[in-house]
């Protein structure tokens, strides 16, 4: 049946679903991701007369990832609505992904009517218990009139401090119940946080530390994205002459081609960053934890002055001691710091060497990739061909396979939100879903997903959802006919691989079969033309490319 235009929806009394959808609309939610189920019908019907669009996809895991990627693309938290039992448990992995990535994500789950609680009714499980370890807050709404209040509380919790996912479970009889006339005002909108200024004494101490430093290093993380600090960060690195690396959600906040950029904030793939951490006399970690990708702070010189800034005090000093911990949001802190910035004195030779080390690594990899070779392309050759063929405003998505660790170093992210990657939880399956949501949220931007032949098998079928909703993203399937990230280290450790091969399947035909467009580009010179035809098709597309299985520096470093 056609979706009704909001004005054509038959008149009926307001229900819980209407309260929920109105509360989401008031918070700027434009689209919810879902797979249907009886207990969430009220929410579906509510969208029929609301500007909030419903995107009915193929798997609750994909719905969760799509909601997460919506925040990463737009800055407005995303929402997934899943049915009871298996719908909820299918969404556990995206919740865990958001928890590890510190991204706000609201998952609304169905449940059997209250009268059936604890009777093993069809499809039931204790969804709140399943979600509790992978969310900041998981709870059940017991009364229809309180739905707006719970949405408000969910918003507050998922966007404050260190952001993360929240789970709200609404039993079938509660969501379908008649909304009371005195229900809280669903349209009141989200609470707005004004981050307090940082303690002036702490800012002064940071200013002193940076003024004394000759070899400073700034590592910028998630909170730069959460608090919209990109412009202040750009100004700080220039005025204070700070060599910098950005990780996770902060990648691209300042264009990674900036002359003071040390490349991605990921020590396993960036030898320049390892060197800079070991040699800097002052290291400032801004808005992030001492992440696995920073080797938990282990490589920092013992003599360096270490500063960590985070909104969540519990994050400061965890994994490694700091000389100065500042509880503050990234943006106000940078703005305060810039108010009285003294002209810095730096060891310019050191800065040039530190930046040169990453540049040399990129050149080494590029030369390897472009060298004439027999057989399949080097993974970086494919990535470089794709990057060269696409316009600068392209939004990139990668996954968690060996090919993606090559892409992680090869893509120089030019702007905030231009590079999406699930993060520390690293689930295969996030990538195609992220790409679909990014294209829906930013239809004017080209969206390209890099994924391996293993990872594509998880949610590649979401290209069908993309076809239904008119989201012409491009998925480059980098096919090494292997679960490469596991196979290559396995061979190194054991001398043999066990069950690691994947046969070549026709992913271009697969894309065509589910409403998309498909191309094959097994040689470098075929890549640009294939991409051009994908764009011209106006359909969600696959470029299926044969690549060699070559161990990436990241996998080499982490699997020794
Ligand atoms: C959900 C999930 N299951 C398993 C893994 C472990 N894993 C990491 S990379 C990888 C292989 C990926 O293969 P492919 O997508 O073909 O990329 P390649 O490594 O071959 O480049 C596996 C199985 C994971 N990260 N996520
Ligand atoms: Mg593979």
Do 121 and 39 meet the contact criterion of CB atoms below 8 Å apart?
no
Q: How far is the centre of ligand 1, averaged over its atoms, from the C-alpha of 107 (Å)?
A: 25
Atom of ligand 1 nearest to the CA of 451: 15
Q: How confident is the model at residue 179, as a pLDDT? A: 93
Q: How confident is the model at residue 7, as a pLDDT? A: 56
Q: How confident is the model at residue 186, as a pLDDT? A: 66
Atom of ligand 1 nearest to the CA of 478: 21
Q: How confident is the model at residue 105, as a pLDDT? A: 98
Q: How far is the centre of ligand 2, averaged over its atoms, from the C-alpha of 89 (Å)?
A: 27
Q: Is 485 in the pocket of ligand 1 (CB under 6 A)?
A: yes
Give the closest residue (by CA) to ligand 1 atom 13: 483
Q: Is 429 in the pocket of ligand 1 (CB under 6 A)?
A: yes
Do 463 and 514 meet the contact criterion of CB atoms below 8 Å apart?
yes
Instruction: Please calculate the CA angle 291-313-230 and round it to the nearest 5 degrees.
Output: 60
**Buried/exposed 539-556: b ≥16 CB within 10 Å, e otherwise:** bbbbbbbbbebbbbbbbb
**Ligand (nearest to CA of 450):** 1
Which contacts (CB < 8 Å, 24+ apart) does range 148-151 have? 148/19, 148/22, 148/23, 148/183, 148/184, 148/185, 148/186, 148/188, 149/184, 151/20, 151/23, 151/24, 151/27, 151/106, 151/186
Q: How far is the centre of ligand 2, averaged over its atoms, from the C-alpha of 65 (Å)?
A: 21
**Ligand (nearest to CA of 404):** 1
Question: Strands across the sheet with 105-111, in order?
Answer: 53-56, 31-34, 78-82, 105-111, 165-171, 137-140
Q: How confident is the model at residue 286, as a pLDDT? A: 98
**Ligand (nearest to CA of 489):** 1
Q: Is 516 in the pocket of ligand 1 (CB under 6 A)?
A: no
Q: How confident is the model at residue 2, as a pLDDT? A: 47
CA dihedral in degrees (228, 230, 233, 237; nearest 10)? 180
Q: Is 486 in the pocket of ligand 1 (CB under 6 A)?
A: yes
pLDDT along the chain (560 residues), means of 10: 56 93 96 97 96 98 98 97 98 98 98 90 93 98 95 95 97 96 74 83 97 97 97 97 98 98 97 97 98 96 97 95 97 96 90 96 96 95 98 97 96 97 96 98 98 98 98 98 97 95 98 98 98 98 97 93
pTM of the model: 0.97
| DSSP label at residue 188 | G
- In the numeric block, which tokens belong to residue 47? 């969208």
Q: How far is the centre of ligand 2, averaged over its atoms, from the C-alpha of 453 (Å)?
A: 5
Q: How far is the centre of ligand 2, averaged over its atoms, from the C-alpha of 72 (Å)?
A: 26
Q: Is 102 in the pocket of ligand 1 (CB under 6 A)?
A: no
Q: How confident is the model at residue 188, as a pLDDT? A: 74
Helices assigned H by DSSP within 227-293 = 230-239, 271-279
Ligand 1 site-directed mutation target among 101, 426, 449, 485, most atoms within 8 Å of CB: 485
Q: From the DSSP assignment, how many helices (H) and strands (E) are in the chain?
A: 23, 18
**Ligand (nearest to CA of 550):** 1
């Amino acid at each position: 049946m056609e979706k009704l235009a909001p004005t054509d929806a038959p008149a009926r009394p307001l229900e819980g679903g209407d309260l929920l959808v109105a509360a989401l609309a008031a918070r700027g939610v434009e689209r919810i991701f879902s797979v249907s189920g009886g207990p969430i019908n009220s929410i579906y019907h509510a969208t029929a007369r609301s500007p909030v669009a419903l995107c009915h996809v193929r798997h609750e895991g994909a719905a969760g990832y799509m909601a997460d990627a919506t925040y990463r693309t737009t800055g407005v938290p995303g929402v997934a609505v899943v049915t009871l039992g298996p719908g909820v448990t299918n969404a556990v992995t995206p919740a865990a992904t958001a928890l590890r990535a510190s991204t706000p994500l609201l998952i609304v789950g169905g449940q059997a009517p209250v009268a059936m609680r604890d009777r093993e009714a069809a499809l039931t499980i204790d969804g709140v218990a399943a979600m509790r370890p992978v969310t900041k807050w998981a709870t059940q709404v017991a009364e229809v009139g309180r739905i707006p209040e719970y949405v408000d509380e969910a918003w507050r919790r998922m966007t404050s401090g260190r952001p993360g996912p929240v789970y709200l479970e609404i039993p079938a009889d509660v969501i379908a119940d008649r909304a009371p006339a005195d229900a809280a005002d669903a349209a009141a909108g989200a609470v707005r946080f004004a981050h307090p200024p940082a303690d002036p004494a702490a800012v002064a101490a940071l200013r002193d530390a940076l003024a004394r430093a000759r070899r400073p290093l700034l590592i910028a993380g998630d909170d730069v994205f959460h608090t919209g600090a990109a412009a202040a960060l750009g100004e700080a690195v220039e005025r204070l002459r700070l060599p910098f690396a950005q990780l996770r959600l902060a990648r691209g906040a300042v264009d990674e081609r900036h002359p003071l950029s040390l490349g991605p904030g990921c020590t396993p793939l960036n030898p320049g960053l390892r060197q800079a951490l070991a040699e800097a006399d002052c290291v400032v970690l801004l808005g992030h934890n001492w992440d696995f990708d920073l080797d938990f702070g282990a490589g920092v010189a013992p003599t360096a002055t270490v500063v960590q800034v985070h909104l969540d005090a519990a994050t400061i000093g965890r994994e490694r001691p700091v000389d100065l911990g500042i509880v503050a949001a990234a943006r106000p802190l940078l703005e305060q710091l810039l108010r009285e910035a003294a002209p810095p004195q730096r060891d310019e030779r050191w800065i040039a060497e530190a930046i040169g080390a990453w540049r040399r690594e990129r050149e080494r990899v590029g030369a390897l990739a472009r060298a004439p070779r027999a057989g399949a392309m080097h993974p970086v050759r494919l990535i470089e061909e794709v990057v060269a063929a696409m316009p600068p405003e392209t939004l990139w998505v990668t996954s968690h396979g060996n090919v993606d660790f090559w892409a992680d170093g090869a893509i120089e992210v030019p702007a905030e939100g231009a590079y999406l990657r699930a993060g520390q939880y690293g689930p295969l399956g996030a990538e195609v879903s992220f790409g679909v949501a990014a294209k829906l949220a930013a239809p004017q931007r080209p969206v390209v997903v890099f994924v391996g032949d293993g990872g594509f098998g998880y949610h590649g079928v979401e290209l069908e959802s993309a076809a239904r909703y008119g989201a012409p993203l491009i998925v480059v399937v980098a096919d090494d006919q292997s679960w490469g990230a596991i196979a290559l280290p396995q061979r190194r450790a054991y001398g043999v691989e066990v069950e690691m091969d994947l046969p070549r399947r026709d992913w271009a035909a697969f894309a065509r079969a589910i409403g998309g467009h498909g191309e094959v580009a097994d040689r470098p010179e075929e890549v640009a033309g294939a991409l051009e035809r994908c764009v011209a098709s106006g359909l969600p597309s696959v470029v299926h490319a044969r690549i060699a299985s070559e161990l990436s520096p990241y996998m080499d470093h982490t699997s020794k």
